[in-house]
A and B are shown apart, each in its own frame.
Chain A
Amino acid sequence: MHGKTHFIATAALALWLSVAPTADAAELRVAVAANFTAAMQTLAERFQQLSGHRLRVSYGSTGKLYAQILQGAPFDVFLAADQRRPRLLQQQGLASGRFTYATGRLVLWSARQAGATSPGEHTLTEARFHKLALANPKTAPYGAAAVSVMRKLGVERRLRDKRVTGESVAQAYQFVASGNADLGFVALAQVALDDSGSYWLIPQALYPPIHQDAVVLKRGDAKPAATEFLAYLRSRAARDVIARYGYGTD
């Protein structure tokens, strides 16, 4: 009997703590494209300190998050890795306030240290490797960019048998980091602040620019915290963080 009372008291306390934090602190659910994971972690921490709001962040490929949002996933804000899907959401009346928070860069990354074997254009044309990881081009903008690079270099057909596809650019990165793939097309942001391995920063001429747009979703419309978070994303401080991860912020 005593144990039961104790349990109820604890549960009540936990419930109270979860619903009654400081007066105007809100909880925001944010869907974030996988390439932006590292930057988002830093930004989320700072924004939470600044505002007192709590962020719950879900990471995934842009296409997958888009499909989830269409199906009514409970997100307030969406940071995509392209402009197409936020625009589509806006056209369907599911989102508003679209702006470009970052412009991403694609790299060809190898987990091996820089040196004679540093990746470059020749790596792709000579094709002396076993497996090349990229994100699923159907759902991940960085995967689509990777395909356009291979197409531009005329190696798409030759590399077909060496391609392994990750669900998102995060899995493509993991395939290389775990050593199971020799090379991978990943976001500069995933490797910029990491001195393990080496990469080739792919010339912008080889793929369409990766403008990444943010929107407030219908569910976040009425929440001041959502507007606050997007305003923070545009702030000087946030843009400095974003730039530090290798993104363009113009």
Chain B
Amino acid sequence: MEAYWEPVWLTLKLAAVTTLILLVAGTPLAWWLAKSRNWWRDLIGSLVALPLVLPPTVLGFYLLLLLGPAGPIGRLTQGLGWGTLAFTFPGLVVGSVLYSLPFVVQPIRNAFEALGERPLEVAATLRASPVQRFFDVALPLARSGFLTGAVLGFAHTVGEFGVVLMIGGNIPGETKVLSVAIYDHVEALEWGQAHWLAGGMLLFSFVVIFAMYRMEKRWR
């Protein structure tokens, strides 16, 4: 029974870690994308949006090469004494951060853009420093963007499959996440077990999206 629930906890852990990293690293990125007038803003913006359209196999393939012993990231992690990251939980985190990046950055960026210059200018006339303007004005006003980004990033990571299948190695407790466990049960014709996990997943996804719609309205 413990082994049966293991993929669920692992998936929640992966989604939580990924969302946290994306919120921390994605916020300054979203801010820059929203505010910069630099010509290469669209270049970076396109790169961030790429995982929306790329097949997961493309990400999986390049990650295998990058994380492998001959790849640049593989060399770095080996140099640091961590070994290679394929088939490890940190490896999945790297993959998930890339894979879910646009789902977190885009809503936050939209929220920042929707703010306009006005509230920040008003705050400036009240002698708020740039840091204060960001934390006390922009962040609270953009909260619905953060909510959407966090929920989408979390849910999208829970729903990840192709990348994990390619770089995970299906290790119980380490890389065997929910979607892979379901696939495994189906392939092995263990449909009873597949039903419980898949049905739970369906319910979970619906509740998350429904709750997000309800909360977004209230937070505006």
Contact = CB atoms under 8 A, between A and B. Distances in A.
B186 interface: yes
Contact of B184 (A66, A136, A164, A179): A136
B65 A175 contact: no
Contact of A138 (B86, B87, B188): B188
A212 interface: no
A139 B188 CA distance: 6
B170 A180 contact: no
Interface string B164-175: 010101110000
B2 interface: no
A130 B170 CA distance: 15
B70 interface: yes
A180 B64 contact: yes
Given A163-B171, A164-B170, A179 B69 contact: yes
Contacts of B188: 63, 67, 138-139
A164 B92 CA distance: 14
A113 B86 CA distance: 22
A67 B165 CA distance: 19
B67 interface: yes
Contacts of A166: 169-170
A63 B190 CA distance: 12
A180 B71 CA distance: 10
B68 interface: yes
A218 interface: no
Nearest to B171: A164
B202 interface: no
Contact of B187 (A61, A179, A181): A61
Given A179-B68, A179-B70, A180-B87, A133 B165 contact: no
A166 B183 CA distance: 13
A165 B171 contact: yes
A178 B65 contact: yes
Interface string A175-215: 10011110000000000000000000000000000000000
Contacts, number: 59
B186 A164 contact: no
Contact of A130 (B64, B68, B83, B171): B83
A156 interface: no
Interface of B is mostly: loop
Contacts of B64: 178, 180
Given A63-B188, A178-B68, A179-B69, A167 B165 contact: yes
Contacts of A181: 86-87, 169
Interface in B56-103: 64-65, 67-70, 74, 83-84, 86-87
A53 interface: no
A130 B84 CA distance: 9
A35 B84 CA distance: 27
Given A131-B87, A163-B171, A165-B171, A180 B67 contact: yes
A166 B68 CA distance: 16
A64 interface: yes
A159 to B, nearest CB: 12
Contacts of A165: 169-171
A67 B68 contact: no
B168 to A, nearest CB: 8
B88 to A, nearest CB: 9
6 smallest beta-carbon distances between A and B, as pairs:
A164-B169, A180-B86, A165-B170, A138-B188, A179-B68, A179-B69
13 contacts: A61-B187, A63-B187, A66-B189, A130-B83, A130-B84, A136-B170, A138-B184, A139-B187, A164-B87, A165-B171, A180-B68, A180-B87, A181-B86
Interface of B: 64-65, 67-70, 74, 83-84, 86-87, 165, 167, 169-171, 184, 186-189
